[in-house]
Structure 1
């Protein structure tokens, strides 16, 4: 995965519908074919950070927003409005460790299948050295 951000900081807000304090992606590293790459630096002021660690709901939300950033990037490149997406299901979720404040998360989203307005993704969340979490997620895209 390329670790040079294509979009970061405030620019992320053009890709996702979420707004502070619920923004859980701070970097987008791009995509290739059916994969996209995003990141988050865990901070103590993060809504989902407790006792210096990002909690499970924060990891799940980070995965969902990473998938949203992929869709947002594609739509903005086409000059179209970024659609809303909703988590339909989270399957085979495994969280191996809760990342500490200061850690940088790198997330790979792989599109497994797209049927109409439903996208099935597989996600892996890593730090520099360690797999933090993985799951499959079904996302419904609300197109206008």
Structure 2
């Protein structure tokens, strides 16, 4: 249950931030900050709502995945790439923990890796479809 909530939170955080950034024209920093403050405030006000593992890690997942949503729609055209990037972020975060500390920060580095991975996956899918014709 905990892992599925973390995966869903990563996906939703990235997509909501991407929407606020590109559709609502808030900009990447404001969109990410808004999502992060709402999530952090929620878990600060209601710490007993979920178990201590989720109360500690879910705000980090939401904040880090919101970094993925800071991407511009001029480069990332499909929203599914952002959702997959949020999923990748959550998975990488779960398996690496603090491995990327000192490389620009754990959350930012993991967000960059997950977005580049999903963008690369999209390119591979497009190339594979090109060769099938």
Normalising by structure 1, what TM-score?
0.35
- Point out the structure with the larger strand share: 1
Name the larger-Rg structure: 2
Normalising by structure 2, what TM-score?
0.37
- Point out the structure with the larger helix share: 2
